[in-house]
């Protein structure tokens, strides 16, 4: 076999007990899931806990993955459900830490890295102003670039409800005072 194995072939191999295939799936998605979790929770420790929950849930349900959806969509559906569970257990995060979204070694200059960190902190601060339901819709629409139809399929939430939540989130974000940079 030439090239990179597909997600589906890795799933099939992982189901046969090939640990290296499971590890490759984790490597492919850990950064994206971490970034999702960080935007949803607002802090590193909770994001790491959520990532662990997501991959544990994926592992336990790997045999249920039906290939009618892309694996990436399926794993983010699980991540969305685990994020919802997270909010049921823990109401709101009061403080934000130094968030560092994984970028896979971008080779940015130190100045660009500082600007990116400041921007990431501001994004996280703004997302924390939204309800968990609004935050999830913003995450799926803008960070995961899903259509409303894809979001409805993966979350089980009607398209019009998702649209209402997104527009309410955007109105809320627009009404927040602008950030004053130092």
Q: For the domain bounded by 109-175, which CATH number is listed?
A: 1.10.10.10
Residue 93 confidence (pLDDT): 41
Q: What is the pLDDT along the chain (182 residues), one digit of tens a residue?
A: 567 889 999 999 999 988 899 999 999 999 999 999 988 888 889 999 999 999 999 999 998 888 777 898 889 889 988 988 887 776 544 444 445 555 545 566 676 666 666 777 777 778 888 888 888 888 888 888 888 988 888 788 899 999 998 989 888 888 877 643 43
- Give yes or no for a contact between 37 and 79, defined as CB atoms under 8 angstroms apart: yes
- Give yes or no for a contact between 57 and 82, defined as CB atoms under 8 angstroms apart: yes
CATH architecture of structural domain 1-92: Orthogonal Bundle (1.10)
In angstroms, the Cα distances linking 13 to 5, 24, 129 are 10, 11, 42
- Tokens in use for 181? 């940079």
Instruction: Please tell me what DSSP assigns to residue 107.
Output: -
**CB atoms near residue 35 (< 10 Å):** 21
Residue 100, classified by CB atoms within 10 Å of its CB into exposed (0-12), middle (13-18) or buried (19+), is middle
Q: Alpha-carbon distance 135 to 49, whole Å?
A: 18
- Give yes or no for a contact between 57 and 83, defined as CB atoms under 8 angstroms apart: no
pLDDT (tens digit per residue) in 3-25: 788 999 999 999 998 889 999 99
Query: Residue ranges of the domains in the chain?
Result: 1-92, 109-175
């Amino acid at each position: 076999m030439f090239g990179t194995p597909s997600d589906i072939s890795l799933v099939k191999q992982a189901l046969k007990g090939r640990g290296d295939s499971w590890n490759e799936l984790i490597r492919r998605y850990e950064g994206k899931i971490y970034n999702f979790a960080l935007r949803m929770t607002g802090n590193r420790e909770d994001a790491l806990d959520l990532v662990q929950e997501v991959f544990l849930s994926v592992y336990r349900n790997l045999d249920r993955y039906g290939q009618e959806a892309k694996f990436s969509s399926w794993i983010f559906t699980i991540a969305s459900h685990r994020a919802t569970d997270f909010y049921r257990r823990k109401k709101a995060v009061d403080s934000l830490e130094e968030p560092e979204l994984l970028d896979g070694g971008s080779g940015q200059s130190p100045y660009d890295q500082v600007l990116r960190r400041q921007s990431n902190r501001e994004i996280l601060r703004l997302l924390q102003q939204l309800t968990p339901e609004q935050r999830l819709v913003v995450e799926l629409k803008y960070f995961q670039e899903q259509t409303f139809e894809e979001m409805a399929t993966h979350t089980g939430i009607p398209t019009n409800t998702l649209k209402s939540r997104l527009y309410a989130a955007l109105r809320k974000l627009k009404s927040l005072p602008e950030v004053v940079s130092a």
